[in-house]
């Protein structure tokens, strides 16, 4: 059918399209009775036929209000499907009464929630047995039913599509949560690192040591470091922590950072190589018996001069260990770290 303007059926009618779909069948046995019908009765009958047989609903009563007869049926989005019959309210009531009296229509009354009576209409049908219908009509009805079922299934699929999308989104979120959860190895490695650091210093409370396990998880998942290498690095750091030229680590973040930039792996490889003993000149170097470390004799000479400046009453070269400890503490060293005999000899 040609396009209609905004006013509905107003304007020139250009012609019908070939009825392949979107058409309602008109029974031939009813056409001879049209001459006896009034205009209001005919319009009401055609409107009911359109909204029952047009939707392949032959024995199912359709609830149509007087307002819908007058102005058109409502959609779910509160817009009109059509323009109704174009009759006034009294003409509609009279046409329905005549159609019921002539036994063209059947009316089914029901009670609504607000205790009002609602009318449903359908065309009066004969009780046919399946043998009375031709094979051709049965095939046509089967085709119509299959198309209706397919449309209903497609409608249900479109309605369930957002639900399926939500389900897939929830599955992805659950997989991501599982992936972001640290493993048992990560938790043990975080606790082990905390114990190693606590050997030489207290762990800062703001460092959130319970989250160090996530740094080890990132090392495994994102940096590609195996559990064996992480375990080897922890054992090595536990053995050499506090020594000279050992990378300082304060938390899980610095452990991961210094492993990725190569400081920890280089230090591990270097510690495995046999180190040559450094040559020390006994005239210029001095080995402290308490710390077992070599020190320059210039350092001892500075301590000796500082001792005699602090205690000028010492005429002889005999250095008191108690007074020397006072100077050592001022220098930021521990008392007794250097003996008075070494200072006097230096």
Mean pLDDT of 111-116: 79
104 contact partners, CB below 8 Å, separation of at least 6: 30, 33, 41, 45, 123, 124
pLDDT digits (tens, 9 = 90+) for 251-286: 888 899 999 988 888 888 888 876 555 545 555 566
In whole angstroms, give the CA distance from residue 238 to residue 259: 15
Q: In the chain, pLDDT over 70 holds for what percent of residues? A: 69
Q: How many residues does the chain have?
A: 346
Q: Which two tokens stand for residue 254?
A: 């610095």
In whole angstroms, give the CA distance from residue 150 to residue 168: 25
**Residue 112: CA count within 13 A, CB half-sphere:** 8
In whole angstroms, give the CA distance from residue 123 to residue 49: 7
pLDDT digits (tens, 9 = 90+) for 56-113: 787 788 888 888 898 888 888 888 888 888 899 999 999 999 888 988 888 888 887 7
256 contact partners, CB below 8 Å, separation of at least 6: 215, 216, 218, 219, 223
Q: Which two tokens stand for residue 185?
A: 């190895």
In whole angstroms, give the CA distance from residue 276 to residue 160: 75
* Whether residue 183 has pLDDT greater than 60: yes
217 contact partners, CB below 8 Å, separation of at least 6: 180, 182, 183, 186
Mean pLDDT of 154-166: 63
In whole angstroms, give the CA distance from residue 224 to residue 80: 64
220 touches 230 (CB < 8 A): yes
Q: Which contacts qualify for 6-10: CB closer than 8 Å, 24 or more apart? A: 8/82, 8/83, 9/83, 9/86
Of 60-69, 145-154, 314-323, which gets the smallest average pLDDT?
Answer: 314-323
* Higher pLDDT, residue 23 or 76: 76
Q: What's the pLDDT score for residue 175?
A: 84
* Higher pLDDT, residue 169 or 284: 169
CATH of domain 28-126+135-147: 1.10.10
**Selection from 166-175, 224-233, 274-283 with the highest mean pLDDT:** 224-233
In whole angstroms, give the CA distance from residue 188 to residue 216: 10
* Whether residue 6 has pLDDT greater than 70: no
Angle between helices 252-260 and 212-221 (to 10 degrees): 30
* Higher pLDDT, residue 122 or 288: 122
Q: Where in the chain is the domain with CATH 1.10.10?
A: 28-126+135-147
Q: What's the pLDDT score for residue 3?
A: 43
In whole angstroms, give the CA distance from residue 292 to residue 179: 50
Largest CA distance in the chain: 150
In whole angstroms, give the CA distance from residue 100 to residue 221: 78
Q: What's the pLDDT score for residue 91?
A: 92
DSSP 146-199: HHHHHHHHHHHHHHHHHHHHHHHHHHHHHHHHHHHS--HHHHHHHHHHHHHHTT
Average pLDDT across the chain, whole number = 77
Mean pLDDT of 130-147: 64
* Higher pLDDT, residue 200 or 10: 200
């Amino acid at each position: 059918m040609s396009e209609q303007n905004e006013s509905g059926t107003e304007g020139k009618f250009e012609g019908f399209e070939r009825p392949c779909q979107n058409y309602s069948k008109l029974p031939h046995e009813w056409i001879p009775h049209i001459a006896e019908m009034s205009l209001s009765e005919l319009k009401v009958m055609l409107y009911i036929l359109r909204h029952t047989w047009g939707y392949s609903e032959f024995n199912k009563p359709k609830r149509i209000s007087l307002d819908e007869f007058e102005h058109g049926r409502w959609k779910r989005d509160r817009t009109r499907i059509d323009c109704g019959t174009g009759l006034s309210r009294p003409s509609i009531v009279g046409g329905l009464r005549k159609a019921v009296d002539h036994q063209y229509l059947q009316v089914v009354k029901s009670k609504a929630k607000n205790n009002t009576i609602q009318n449903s209409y359908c065309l009066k049908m004969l009780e046919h047995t399946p043998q009375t219908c031709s094979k051709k009509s049965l095939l046509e009805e089967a085709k119509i039913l299959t198309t209706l079922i397919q449309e209903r299934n497609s409608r249900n699929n479109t309605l369930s599509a957002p639900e399926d999308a939500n389900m897939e989104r929830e599955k992805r979120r659950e997989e991501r949560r599982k992936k972001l959860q640290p493993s048992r190895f990560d938790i043990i490695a975080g606790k082990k690192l905390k114990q190693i650091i606590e050997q030489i210093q207290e762990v800062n409370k703001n460092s959130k040591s319970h989250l160090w396990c996530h740094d080890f998880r990132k090392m495994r998942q994102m940096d590609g470091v195996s559990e064996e290498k992480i375990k080897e690095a922890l054992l090595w750091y536990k053995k050499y922590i506090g020594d000279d030229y050992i990378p300082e680590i304060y938390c899980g973040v610095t452990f991961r950072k210094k492993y990725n930039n190569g400081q920890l792996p280089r230090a591990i490889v270097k510690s495995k190589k046999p180190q040559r003993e450094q040559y020390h000149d006994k005239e210029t170097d001095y080995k402290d018996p308490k710390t077992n470390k070599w020190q320059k004799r210039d350092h001892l000479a500075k301590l000796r001069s500082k001792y005699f400046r602090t205690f000028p009453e010492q005429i002889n070269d005999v250095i008191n260990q108690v007074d020397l400890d006072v100077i050592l503490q001022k220098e930021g060293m521990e008392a007794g770290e250097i003996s008075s005999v070494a200072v006097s000899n230096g």
